[in-house]
Amino acid sequence: MNDTDQTIDLPVWHAIDSYQFRLIAQFPSNQLSIMDPSRTETQASHLSSPSAPTTSGPIRSSTHQLPRGRTTEDRGPTSSGSVSRAPGGSFEGQAAIRAFLQLQELEAARVSKRARYHNDPLPTTEGDEDSAHPLLDTFRDSVGSDGVLKMTNFTPSEIAQVYGDVSDFMAARWNIGRGQSSKQTPVDVFFMTLCVLKNGGEWAVLAHSFGMKPAAFEKMIVHFLDLLSPHLYHLYVEEAASTYTMKKVAIQGHAFRHYPAVGVTFQQSNMPSASQADFYSAKHKLHGYKTELSVMPTGICINCSHHSRGGVDDMTIFRKNLTFHEAATTKSPSEESMADEGPYRDTRDAVQAAARGGDAHPQPTQVSSWIIIADEGYQELNDTMRVLHPKRSRPTDPLTLKEEETNREISSDRTIVENYFGRLCTLWALVSDKYCWQVKKYEMYFRACVALTNVQVRVRPLRADDGEQYKDYLRRLNHIGTARRERRRESNQRARAKRELRLATEVPPVPEDESD
């Protein structure tokens, strides 16, 4: 270091020391921690560096020029006065301290704003606009997951999982295009749709439950199901037919002795305004609709036919759905070697061979279809399909002990269908109570319920209690039909009695006098 540097360094250090002394006298003791000696040394080394401009003149005082009438005591540490800079363009120490204290005051004010609300309650998720399903979150927080399960047959996590399977499909179709978009999120609309299917009833009551107008609520749900129902049916019903093959079912140990099972369920409807005889079911003594379901041994429905009028017999419905039954019961090449000890092993092949003009008595190895279990309503179907059903007893032809045992075995295998019907009618009031909504939308609602029932069966397998529930459902229908028929009979009796009384008390006309 040369002599010039030494003569400059001493006055600079002297100036910094006197400056630090003035700061100590000016600030309270609780603010002295900001006076970091290392920072002072850094400032000194900066001022003493060769790059810093040097001067041989007297050292300038660090006291700034003040307006007339003001002193240095009037300027506090946080004053917004002019910023003093060192000769090299850097902040002087006092200006840096002033800036530091200003920022600390802002930080303290920001912290105090939060601290004053320390005892206030935390915000709830109700009305959370950032949630993907604020309405569902509100019900979950209010009534719990068990409450949501009772409202929709699914827990909140199951609702999110099911909608996750269809979210991509619905995202490309829901709230797309012209017209006013729905303000509800898709998951919330799905939640409300499940409530509608679960509870049924009047639209006004359902809409009031969610604080919406009945007309707008009905329009939203119907439009949503128009898009969702076909996709749900394809995803959970049609794809199940290709997933649960006979080979896979046999490997899992769930196979029937015969395969698969089919049945028809009946639902009461309003009195039709057209031909009432077409909708009247003599078995249930009510007007309504019939739908045929095909159920696998695992308890999964693989087909739902188009609905028919209540007056159509079960065999006619089966024949209308014959295309599906032929495709579902046809054996694949890998299934031809599987054991098949069911009866009527050559019926279908014999019919087909006779139609082709070939051998009408094929060998057992030529059996190409599985047998179907049905109830007593499917008599005389063996001319086209391998159908196994209980044999009916006739007055002139009573059943033998072996035939009665066979009937019990068939009914035991077919119990899975009744269990499925029981689960379907228990879960969804819309397909078990009296149907009073649009006739053209009946199939849309019914197939959506069947698809969602398949989801339920996968999570909660069918039980014998489901079959008992279906029997109670049939007993209720029978009671309604019998009571309705009795009321009609009593009404007719009263009408006839009134007519007879009127005729008995009617005064005969006085004959005219012939003499006149």
Give the SS3 label for residue 372: strand
Q: What is the pLDDT of residue 289?
A: 94
Q: What is the pLDDT of residue 337?
A: 63
β-strand pairing of 301-304 with 280-281: unpaired
Q: Sign of the CA dihedral 196, 197, 198, 204? A: positive
Task: Report the C-alpha gap between 102 and 90 in whole angstroms.
Answer: 18
Tokens of 50: 């060769």
Q: What is the pLDDT of residue 176?
A: 86
Which CB contacts under 8 angstroms, 24+ apart, belong to 508-511? Answer: none
Tokens of 159: 């609702």
Annotated domain spans of the chain: 3-56+76-113, 134-231, 244-332+369-377+400-480
DSSP 244-311: S-HHHHHHHT---SS--EEEEEEEEBPPPSS-HHHHEETTTTEEEEEEEEEE-TTS-EEEEPPPEETT
Express the helix, strand and coil content of the chain in percent, nearest 5 each: 55, 5, 35
Per-residue confidence in pLDDT tens, the chain, 516 aa: 444 444 444 344 344 444 444 444 444 544 444 444 444 444 444 444 444 444 444 444 444 454 555 554 445 444 444 555 555 555 678 888 888 899 999 999 999 998 988 888 876 655 455 678 899 999 999 999 999 999 999 999 999 999 999 999 999 999 887 777 888 999 999 999 999 999 999 999 999 999 999 999 999 999 999 999 999 999 999 998 877 666 566 555 555 554 567 888 889 888 777 678 888 898 888 999 999 999 988 889 999 999 999 999 988 999 899 888 888 888 777 666 665 655 555 544 544 444 444 444 444 434 677 778 888 777 777 677 778 778 878 777 788 888 888 778 777 778 889 999 999 999 999 999 999 999 999 999 999 999 999 999 999 999 989 999 999 999 999 999 999 999 999 999 999 999 998 888 877 777 776 665
Which H/E stretch holds residue 193? helix 186-199
Q: What is the pLDDT of residue 397?
A: 79
Cβ contact 307:290 at 8 Å? yes
Q: Is 144 left (phi over 0), alpha (psi -120 to 50) or beta?
A: left
Q: What is the pLDDT of residue 460?
A: 92
Q: What is the pLDDT of residue 353?
A: 45
Beta bridge partners, 263, equal 293
Which residue type does 249 have? V
Beta bridge partners, 281, equal 286
What pTM was estimated for this model as a whole? 0.69
Q: What is the pLDDT of residue 420?
A: 95
Which residue type does 235 have? L
The distance from CA 83 to its chain's CA centroid, rounded to whole angstroms, is 65
Task: Report the C-alpha gap between 72 and 453 in whole angstroms.
Answer: 85
Which residue type does 212 have? M
Which residue type does 164 have? G
